[in-house]
Amino acid sequence: MTVARTLLALAFCITAGAVSAEPTRTALPPTIAIIIDDMGHSLAEGKRLANLDQPLTLAFLPYRRHTDSLARLAHKQHKEIMLHAPMANTRNYGLGPGGLTPDMDEQSMVTTLRRALQSIPHVQGVNNHMGSLLTQQLQPMDWVMKELFRYPVYFIDSRTIASSVAGDVAAAYRIPTMTRDVFLDHEQTEEFIDRQFKLLIKRARENGSAIGIGHPHKVTVDYLEKHLPTLDEQGIAIATVSGLWAMRNGNREMFAEGEKQAIRPAFAKKD
């Protein structure tokens, strides 16, 4: 039912937008988008997320054991797919394959990013995995965004550190971009997730929309299975990231047809 509400809201938004931009802002319910990071490791929780009725956005780490199969399943279940691009952090945590680090030159960084994009079936956007070190650095972010600008993808700044410049550089390259508002589950208890989920809804009520980021922990998936179906009765809509971007931008398309270079799939089985 949440999906139906969201689709009706979007349909109304498109119709109203043809007449006036003002009704669009007043008629739509507060709307949230939820990104689930770190997809590709857990098959069981990944399947549960892919099979939820609501239009979640799932961010996949490149080259993980279940990334390809889960991304294909999620796409079939009408979820939106992102690359969760590993970026260097201030605590020296390992990045795994596809990581972007400050010691890379431009060609190495671009090649690594491009191959990671190509490895994710049906990819429509990118956000940073960790990145508290790299997203503060202007030169690497310039290289990243110059590459992303070539493709029909948006960028979400996970904002793992307040001094991130990633979103600003993306905007300078005219890449559709937004920023995470709330982390849902950096403490893995139902009580904490409930508090953060309510904060996400509060932000959406205050600002019209808000973006939350969670992870495929069992406690998180259990919570979402239970609470996402209650959004309708709270007067809250849920959308994919691209749907939320459209609502914030007068329902215009992110990219004109033929404007961007298609991402050539690689390292993945055919549908």
Residue range 230-241, pLDDT digits in tens? 999 999 999 999
Task: Supply the pLDDT for residue 270.
Answer: 40
Task: Supply the pLDDT for residue 20.
Answer: 38
Q: How far is CA 103 from CA 36, 92, 140, 261, in A?
A: 29, 13, 10, 28
Determine the Cα angle at 63 with ends 73 and 266, to 5°.
Answer: 80
Give the contacts of 129 (CB within 8 A, at least 6 positions apart). 37, 38, 59, 61, 84, 85, 86, 87, 95, 158
| Other beta carbons within 10 Å of 206 | 10
Nearest Cα residue to 116 out of 147, 138, 83: 83
pLDDT band for position 266 (cuts 50, 70, 90): confident
Q: pLDDT: is 143 or 271 the higher one?
A: 143
User: Average of pLDDT values for 129-148?
Assistant: 98
CB 39 within 8 A of CB 60: yes
Residue range 188-212, pLDDT digits in tens? 999 999 999 999 999 999 999 999 9
Taken in order of first residue, the domains within the chain and their CATH numbers are 29-247 (3.20.20.370)
Helices (H), 62-189: 67-76, 106-118, 138-148, 166-172
pLDDT band for position 267 (cuts 50, 70, 90): low
Is pLDDT at 7 greater than 50 in this prediction? no
CA distance 24 to 27: 6
Give the DSSP H or E segment for 241: helix 241-248
Residue range 20-77, pLDDT digits in tens? 344 444 579 999 999 999 999 999 999 999 999 999 999 999 999 999 999 999 999 9
b/e per residue 134-169 (b: at least 16 CB within 10 A): bbbbeebbebbbebbbebbbbbbbbbbbeebbbbeb
